[in-house]
Structure 1
Amino acid sequence: MRTVLLFTLALLAACNQGPALERFGGPTMGSSYSIQYVRQPGGPAPAQVQAEVEAILQSIDARYSTYRGDSTVSRFNHLPANQCLVIDGDMRALVSFGQQLAAQSQGAFDLTVEPLLDLWGFGPQARELQVPDPQALARARQRVGYQHLRLEGDNLCKDAPVELDFNSIAAGHAVDLIAERLRAMGIDSFLAEATGELKAVGRKPDGSAWRVALELPREDRRIARQVIPVQDLAVSTSGDYRHYFEDNGRRYSHTFDARLGRPVEHDLAAVTVLDDSALLADGYSTLLLILGPERGWDFAVAHGVAAVLVTRTGAGFVSRGTPAFERAVKDE
């Protein structure tokens, strides 16, 4: 009788367990990822969820890592001009989106910047951070240009020896895929993040919204300039304050204007974008950062992008949110 009573009490205790917040993370894409999700009674355990998430991250790495010689993008990059490579639907979608951003920015955003990244010292084949000589820069620019790419059915083709770099959109895409997989597993409240790109869905176990800190663009330490509640939105921040070098008193960041063949030179330090899609947020935060404070602002307002632009001034930093951003934050 005592055993039956204890067993019954254990069952009742299990049935009365409420939702719990689970966390895990690990390395990915040269950085890290982290997942927080609300586990309902009977919901998937962290080990199971982590296995699914890491399978997605591994598939992203296998397609888009320029640091892997066997990745799909590396195999394409090694092809000479006037050659094609069969690609899957996932890469076709990302190439199409990258070409869309390039067209919208008149070529300022460009997936074919890999030769420039290497030349200036920011790419996987780079030797050192440096300002290249004009002749080397002119040669590299001949291998850059989104107009040299074309999709022909399942084939990605090039008419010049261009090389692709998906770092400006791959992490956001990974977050979207993770979010889709979590929902398919019955998880409807989570915060998924990869290399700083994130998406918040649902609410925390106590019913409150997920809260995200928007960082002040400083090199010396991390300081939150604004903390916003986020629900069913992705958040992406692009900035020039992490990867850069200085030469003869001039600052050169890893953010490139492909039309000029060089890092951008303006006072826009960081851009944060909110969107339903982490891919779109990732891509547009980079595009706006390339365009700069004036052209970036005009583009964001004209296209209804929910963005906040942080500009350097002599007195510090000035933040300005687009009408779509202010509406999005107010709604939350």
Structure 2
Amino acid sequence: MRKAVLTGVLLSLAGCGQGDSLERISGPTMGSSYTVQYVRTPWGPAPEQVRREVERILEGIDKRFSTYRSDSLTEAFNRLPANSCQPMPADVLELVRVGEQLAQQSDGAFDLTVEPLLDLWGFGPQSRSEKVPDAQALAATRQRVGHGHLRIVGEQLCKDAPVEVDFNSIAAGHAVDLLVERLKALGVADLLVEATGELKAIGRKPDGSHWNVALELPRDDRQIAQQVLAVDGFGVSTSGDYRNYFEENGQRYSHTFDARLGKPVKHDLAAVTVFDRSTLMADGYSTLLFILGPERGWEFALQHEIAAVFVTRVADGFVSRSTPAFAQVNKQ
């Protein structure tokens, strides 16, 4: 259920600033990159302070949620045997609760405990190679997957089976929300924050125009902007199968898993983009909708009034459609 590599899937089109009033900082994070653009005012924080705060928050996210560093809290929990508990910070427990909500809403298709499946199929941190596993290995691995094996006891995360959690479907959205709230607390009112492709835009650019976000056509050969939107106050997240996959015997296998089957999803939905006031929820819902596919995902989005754009493969290219709730997003 790992998210697509989204750097470039949502391209910030910030335009030109006026003098030194438009600041931009960027760097590596969570195996990808981040970019923060904001309007600097005479009474606002210095760029050096902004960079320090941004990198402090992102380093904390990495130490809590990364599955690629052995010293993270997530990996320490994943190494624990069944019937174990570990104290966790409040935001880790919050994301576990969000994961449980999404799991229940999707009847178990979304699941934070798919890490063993990711490794088995070649997409996880302990992967050896991308391949279709044999039936016996798949059956054994599925015994170590299931959100129902997690529970929160006070300030501890506990498990009654040797499950392993993977927050990659929601951690980046959470990081963006933390960055936005911190920058607002520092006095920054107009900004666009992006981390690993998840982003949120608030306010306007120095020339008074809105921040623009381009939705990319889901092609793996080149980047083509399908639609450009003016966004204010929304988090944006895209999930798709066109950047992180492998092919075997003519079959395409995505990095996104339906936990109920223990296999990558297989349908004609190429990408889904979700807009939500919470980037965390945009992140989670884009994954959930992509797992459910073009029909069930569309029905779910309508039922829950989710602002989303679905891009589906057809014989001669792609077809795009947006939910009614999407109409409130574009400010142009």
Number of aligned residues: 315
Q: How does 1:8-87 map to 2 (within 5 A)?
A: 20-87=21-88
Identity %: 69
Q: Deviations over 1:285-311 (max 9, x none)?
A: 000000000000000000000001100
Q: Which amino acid aligns with 2:173?
A: G
Give the corresponding residue for 1:149. 150
CA distance in 1, matches of 2:105, 2:226: 30
Give the corresponding residue for 2:175. 174
CA distance in 1, matches of 2:81, 2:246: 32
Give the corresponding residue for 2:317. 316
How far did residue 194 of structure 1 move? 0.2
Q: Deviations over 1:256-310 (max 9, x none)?
A: 0000000000000101011111000000000000000000000000000000110
CA distance in 1, matches of 2:209, 2:221: 32
What runs of 5+ residues in structure 2 fail to find an aligned partner?
A: 1-17
SS in 2 for 1:131: coil
Q: How does 1:286-325 map to 2 (within 5 A)?
A: 286-325=287-326
Higher relative contact order (CA 8 A, sep 6+): 2
CA distance in 1, matches of 2:162, 2:67: 16
What runs of 5+ residues in structure 1 fail to find an aligned partner?
A: 1-16
SS in 1 for 2:50: helix
Give the corresponding residue for 2:274. 273
Q: Which amino acid aligns with 2:65?
A: Y
Q: Which amino acid aligns with 1:91?
A: V
How far did residue 327 of structure 1 move? 3.0
CA distance in 2, matches of 1:68, 1:119: 19
CA distance in 1, matches of 2:50, 2:169: 26
* Counterpart contact for 1:87–1:154, Cα < 8 Å: yes
Give the corresponding residue for 1:260. 261
How far did residue 122 of structure 1 move? 0.2
Higher helix share: 1
* Counterpart contact for 1:18–1:41, Cα < 8 Å: no
Q: Which amino acid aligns with 1:146?
A: H
SS in 1 for 2:117: helix
TM-score normalised by length of structure 1 = 0.93
TM-score normalised by length of structure 2 = 0.93
Give the corresponding residue for 1:117. 118
Find runs of 4+ consecutive structure 1 residues off by over 6 angstroms.
Answer: none
Q: Which has the larger radius of gyration?
A: 1
* Counterpart contact for 2:234–2:329, Cα < 8 Å: no
Q: Deviations over 1:131-175 (max 9, x none)?
A: 001100001000001111111111111111100000000000000
Q: Deviations over 1:224-265 (max 9, x none)?
A: 100000011111111111000000000001000000000000
Task: Please identify, of 17-26 and 223-232, the stretch whose mean Cα deviation from structure 2 is larger.
Answer: 17-26
CA distance in 1, matches of 2:87, 2:51: 30
Q: Which amino acid aligns with 2:268?
A: D
Give the corresponding residue for 1:207. 208
SS in 2 for 1:285: helix
Q: Which amino acid aligns with 1:177?
A: L
* Counterpart contact for 1:26–1:32, Cα < 8 Å: yes
